[in-house]
Amino acid sequence: MVTELRDFLQMYNRISETCFTQCISSLLERDVQSDEVACVQRCADKHINSNQKIMQVFMEVQPQVVAKRMEKMEQQMAETQAAESAEAQPQTAEAAEVQPQAAEATEAQPQAAVEAAQAEAVAQ
């Protein structure tokens, strides 16, 4: 609300300054001349109409801009996720290779224990 009021006042001040500079030719007279009044009216109307047109176009184009930004963000997120999953896959493959080796090692341990027990039994 405050920013809207500030924006409105800034626009009003710009229009006032521009139209005053363009239309008021002399400050020597006490009254404003009719041609100056007409000039200020035309100037203000032009600024207001152009501002309305700009806002109208902005309102038409803004949803398209937002949609494009959303698409870009989704694409970037998908690329980031793909990169993260690509980094995680080699680790998973390495873990899969390590698991059979670990299984072989755990199978070898009981066999070694059995062989040691058999050797002790034979020795006795």
- Comparison of pLDDT for 25 and 112, the residue scoring more: 25
In a domain, 45, yes or no: yes
In a domain, 28, yes or no: yes
Compute the mean pLDDT over every residue in the chain, rounded to the nearest whole number.
80
b/e for 1-38, b at 16 or more Cβ within 10 A? eeeeeeeeeeeeeebeeebeeebeeeeeeeeeeeebee
How many beta carbons lie within 10 A of that of residue 70, not counting itself? 10
Instruction: State pLDDT tens for residues 33-67.
Output: 899 999 999 999 999 999 899 989 989 999 999 99
**Cα 47 to the center of its chain, rounded Å:** 33
Give the residue-averaged pLDDT of 73-84.
91
- The domain spanning residue 21 has which CATH number? 1.10.287.810
**Residue 95: what pLDDT?**
53
CB 39 within 8 A of CB 22: yes
**Residue 3: what pLDDT?**
84
CB 15 within 8 A of CB 48: yes
In a domain, 34, yes or no: yes
The answer to whether the pTM exceeds 0.75 is no
Residue span of the structural domain in which 51 resides: 1-59
Domain count, the chain: 1
In a domain, 39, yes or no: yes
In a domain, 103, yes or no: no
